[in-house]
Amino acid sequence: MVVLHARPDMNWDKLARACREILPARAVVAAKQELLSYDSDGLTLHRWQPPLVVLPETTDQVVALLTLCHQEGVPFVARGSGTGLSGGAVSEEPALVIATSRMRSILDLDLANRRITVQPGVINSWVTRAVAGAGFYYAPDPSSQVVCSIGGNVAENSGGVHCLKYGVTSNHVLEMEVVLPDGTLTRLGSGLAETPELDLRGVFIGSEGTLGIATAITLRLLRSPQSVAVLLADFTSMESAGEAVRLVTAAGVQPAGMEIMDNFTLNAVNDLFGRKEYPEDAVAVLLIELDGQEQEVVAAMEIADGLCRQAGARTIRRATDPADCALLWKGRKSAFAAVGRITPTYYVQDGVVPRSALPQVLRAIEELSRRYNLPVANVFHAGDGNLHPLILYRAQDDDVAERVQALGADILRLCLEAGGSITGEHGVGNDKRCYLDWMFTPEDLATMQLVRQAFDPKGLANPGKIFPTPARCGESQRRQQSSPTPSPVLQTMEVF
């Protein structure tokens, strides 16, 4: 089922004037050069400059803006920090961008009940910073946590290193204040553990801005663990690293995080640091973080160490002191930046495979990388099989966007063939909407559209996202048959 909405021609100057009735003039951005900074999110492959951006500070202002959009039939896009990697915060169809970067207050802190309520523009790492002194923290920790917003995290149902043990954003959001696309203010979820309503909170989380705008979010806080330890093991084959992940998981040890970097990435990190942080001939390095009560962590560390050696680890480094732990994590946390030094233009793919399929899927990605003559670096959440192949490209090369996207699509096909998913945590956005029906039947998609229409009958909220449209994606049947054909010539991979 495809839902298309015809729109009248929009008079953006008139809309800007109406927005200035709601907001101070400085909170309405209409100048072309100022709009430049809103023309993409973290996925710079797609760029669309919006006609108008507004910067509300309060829920009342968001209510007034969405009421105006509803009356005038204006499509709108919520924007947090713009770090999304699926083109969610930009719109191909001209739309009003409602940025939450001035909604950055902590509204309530309730340590007795371990919860905090924040405005959507609050940065992820600020939440932990606000409560760390009292011995608490907020668990979901995307690698972008020093810049991404809680509103964006909710919309994408973001994950992170510690989500292996503690769950993703949806496991940590108790309640939300949401402005629906017609301007209605509502609350989804509850601060209590059990309540009888339909779980609309769960429906909203991960809906990528297509059901309305979250204006206040109540998050669950966790007690900081008594003890944390990190282990770093290096391997001469991806199979051995994968086997270590399998053995640790099978032994019943529950790491807080398990991350792998491949040879390309670890050498990019070595170059960034200007020293051999990791053995340059290692095929993979595995980081395992263990947390909990001190004795439990010591015991788990021994088990994990033994199992990594059993799987073939060459060397193992351990850290228990917070500064040493941070040092072991530093390379992983700098991985995207390190790859960005080799080429500032790269496309981060996000697929999921069953853990057991990791080695064979990574081998197949290597093969695809050679065929397309595009280098691919791999850094991923090994514990939950969430791959992040980084496809490196030169923006000035001919047909590069098509080649990069074709390689990305082939990687997702591999994930699906291995029994996985086309996205783990970065969402579908506009980037992957043409692949959604690789995973779901027309009936599945029609059911999802019914939910979306119930929230947004006029289709104003984040138009063109998530669902395939014939105009953008072609006929579904044809697309499924025509796998993008990589170059038949196997070329030597060129690293630029």
Positions 382 through 401 that interact with ligand FAD (CB under 6 A): none
Dist. CA 122–CA 104, nearest whole Å: 4
Q: Does 277 bind ligand FAD (CB under 6 A)?
A: no
To the nearest whole angstrom, how small is the minimum distance from the Cβ of residue 263 to ligand FAD?
21
Question: Using CB under 6 A, which of the segments 79-87, 192-200, 233-241, 252-260 binds ligand FAD?
Answer: 79-87
- What is the DSSP secondary-structure string of 142-169? -TTTTT-BHHHHHHHT---TTHHHH--G
4 three-class SS: coil
Residue 181 binds ligand FAD, judged by CB under 6 A? no
DSSP state of 421: B
- Nearest CB to ligand FAD, comparing residues 301 and 428: 428
Element (H, E) at 376: strand 376-381
120 binds ligand FAD (CB under 6 A): yes
* CB nearer to ligand FAD: pick between 84 and 359: 84
75 binds ligand FAD (CB under 6 A): no
Per-residue binding string, ligand FAD, 349-388, x by CB under 6 A, is ----------------------------------------
Q: Give the integer Cα–Cα distance in Å for 366 and 372.
A: 10
208 contributes a contact to ligand FAD by CB under 6 A:
yes
Cα–Cα distance, 405 to 484 (Å, whole number): 9
Does the footprint of ligand FAD cover residue 257 (CB under 6 A)?
no
Beta carbon nearer to ligand FAD, 41 or 277: 41
For tokens 């301007």, name the residue: 183
Dist. CA 184–CA 292, nearest whole Å: 43
CA atoms within 13 A on the CB side of 14: 7
The letter for the amino acid at 339 is V
- Kindly state the tokens that stand for 317: 């480094």
What 3-state DSSP class applies to 355?
helix
Q: How far is the CB of 209 from ligand FAD (least distance, A)?
A: 3
Sign of the CA dihedral 128, 130, 133, 135?
A: negative
Min CB(462)–ligand FAD separation in Å: 5
88 binds ligand FAD (CB under 6 A): yes
Residues 133-172 that bind ligand FAD (CB under 6 A): 142-144, 148-149, 151-153, 155-156, 158-160
336 lies in the binding site for ligand FAD (CB under 6 A): yes
- The pattern of x and - marking residues 437 through 466 that bind ligand FAD according to CB under 6 A reads -------------------------x----
Sign for the pseudo-dihedral over CA of 14, 464, 478, 486: positive
Q: How far apart are CA 87 and CA 401, in angstroms?
A: 14
Binding residues for ligand FAD, rule: CB under 6 A, are 41-42, 77-85, 88-89, 100, 120, 142-144, 148-149, 151-153, 155-156, 158-160, 208-209, 213-214, 336, 425-426, 462
